[in-house]
Structure 1
Amino acid sequence: MSIEDTGRTTHTLAALMELRKRILNGDFPGGTRLFEVPLAETLQISRTPIREAMSRLAEEGLLDRLANGGFVVRSFTFADVVDAIELRGVLEGTAARLAAERGAPARRLQEMEEVLIQLDDCFGAAPNDVDFEGYSELNGQFHRILVELSGSAVLQREIDRATRLPFASPSAFLSDRTNIDVFRQSLHVAQEQHRALVSAIGSREGTRAEFIAREHARIARRNLEYVTLEDPDLILRVPGLALLNS
C-alpha cells in the first residue's frame, strides 16, 4: 500500500468513526440528508474519504442510499429494533445448538470459562458496583467465541450482519451512560445464562443451548422496553436509540 493510500485509509476511518458517533448520538436525526461538501469542511477531511465512510455506514445500516447517489440517515421504529434483537437471538440460538451438537473443543470451552471468571470480576462488593465498560468488552468476547464454536462461516457472517446496528449488538445497553438499576440487575441474570449456556454446550445439549441463547437475547428486548416505555429520557443515552421514530 502506497503512502497516499495509507493516508486515505486513515482519513476514511477517522471520518467513519466521527460520522458514526454523531449519528448514534442523535446529532443527525433520522431522515437527515448528508452532504459531502459541508461534512468535509466540518471534519476537515477531503470529500473522497467522506464518501467512502458514508458507503460503509450504508453497509452497516445507519444510512440509506438515495436514487441520485446521496445518503440519508435511517430512522427506525420500535418494531424494527425488536425484530433486530429477535433475529440475533434466533441466529445465536442456532450457533449455540450447532456448537453443542457438533461438540466444542475443550480448549474453546475453557476460554469461555475464563471469560466468565473475568465477567464475575466486573461485579463489585456493593450491589450497585458494576464495571459496565469492562463487562461490555468481555461480553462481546464471550459472544464471539460462541458464534465461532458453531463452526459455520455462513452463520458467523449473518450474525455479524445482524449485529451491526448498535441496538442489536449483545452489549447494546451496557455503558456507563446507562448505569441504572434495571440494567445492573439484568447483568446478573445474563451472567447466570452465560454459565448455563456453557454448561449446555459442554454437555452437548443442543436444544437446551438454543433455548438459553434465545432467552439471553431477550434481556436486551426487556431493557429496550424499559427505556421506551418507563423512562423515555434514557433514549439519548443509549447508542443508536436516538434514531427511533418518535
Structure 2
Amino acid sequence: MTAPSLPASEADSGTSQAVRAQLRLREMVLAGELPGGARIAELAIVEKLGVSRTPIRAALMRLEQEGLLQSLPGGGYAVRTFSERDAADAIELRGTIEGLAARLAAERGAPAGALAEARECLDAIDELLAQPALDDESFSRYVKHNGRFHSLLSEMAASPVLARELERVVSLPFASPSAFAVVQANGPRARDMLVVAQDQHRQVLEAIDQREGSRAEAIMREHSRLAQRNLREAVSSHQHADWMPGVRLIRKRA
C-alpha cells in the first residue's frame, strides 16, 4: 500500500515556504548578514524567518547547489567565499556558454519573435542611455532589460543543455550579466562603458540575424571582458559593495 500524498494545497504551501526561505537566505548572504566563512546556525535561521526546519533545509540545499554555501564535514553549511580567480573563471565560463549559445542561435536560425523582443530590449536600453546619467530607477530598468536580453540569447539557441548550464553559472552573484553594471553606472567613464556594452549587444543580434555563427560567438566572448574589467575594479576598491550583491564574498588577492 502506498503512503497517502499530501493535499495539493499543503504541498504547494511547503514549496512556497521553501522558495521564500531560499530567497531570504540568499539576500542575507549577499547583504553580508551571514558573513563569508560563517557556519549557518539552522535553529537561528528557523527562528529569524519564522518557518519550520523542513523548508529551511530545502533552501540551504538549494543554495549549496547554486554555489553560495558549502556543506561541512560534520554536517551543516557555511557561507562560501571566492577568490578573485574564482569570480573571473565564473565570468569566463558565462562568456564561453553565451558565446556558444549565440553561435548556435545563428546557425540554427533564431525565431523571429525572439529577435523582435531582443530588439525591443535594446531600444529600451537606448532610451535609458540617452539620459546624461542613470538614477536609481533608470539603473534598475537597465538591469531588467539587460537581463532579459541575455535570457533571450539563451532561448534563441533552443538548447535545454546550454540553458541549464547557463542558469547554474549565472546564479553566482558576480557571474550574472548585470553583476558589475553598477561599476559602469557609477565609475568615471560610466556612460562610455555602457555604450560599449550596448554596441556589442547590437552587433551580436545582427550576427545572429545574419546567420554569422563565428562572429556572434566572438562578440559574446569579448562582451564578457567588460565584466572582467569591472570585477578587477570592484575588488580593488570595494567602494561599490553596498550596491553590488556578492562582492563581499570575493576575497582580494594576497
TM-score by length of 2: 0.89
Please give the per-residue CA displacement for 1:179-227, whole angstroms capped at 9, x wherever unaligned.
4444443211111111111111111111111111111111111111111
Q: Say whether residues 1:206 and 2:213 are aligned partners.
A: yes
Alignment of 1:110-121 (within 5 A): 110-121=116-127
Give yes or no for the alignment of 1:156 onto 2:152: no
CA 6–92 in structure 1, closer or farther in 2 if over 3 Å, else same: same
Matched, 1:25 2:31: yes
Report the 3-state secondary structure (helix = DSSP H, G, I; strand = E; otherwise coil) of the residue aligned with 1:109.
helix
Is the CA contact (8 Å cut-off) linking 2:92 and 2:224 kept in structure 1? yes
1:56-92 alpha-carbon deviations (Å, 9 max, x no partner): 1111110011233311110100000000000000111
State the secondary structure of the residue aligned to 2:74: coil
List gaps (5 residues or longer) in structure 1. Answer: none
Residue of structure 2 equivalent to 1:5: 11
1:227 is aligned, of 217, 220, 234, to 234
In 2, the alpha carbon distance for the partners of 1:237 and 1:92 equals 25
Q: 1:143: which partner in 2? A: 150
Offset of residue 106 of structure 1: 2.7
Q: Does residue 168 in structure 1 map to residue 175 in structure 2? A: yes
Identical counterparts, % of pairs? 46
Measured on the aligned residues, the alpha-carbon RMSD in Å equals 1.8
Matches within 5 A, 1:99-114: 99-114=105-120
Give the letter for the 2:198 counterpart: Q
1:91 and 2:97 aligned: yes
Residue range with higher mean Cα deviation, 35-44 or 82-91: 35-44
- State the SS of the aligned residue for 1:222: helix
Post-superposition, which runs of at least 4 consecutive aligned residues in structure 1 deviate over 6 A?
none
Matched, 1:129 2:134: yes
- Which range moved further: 35-44 or 6-15? 6-15
8 Å Cα contact 1:109/1:198 also seen in 2: yes
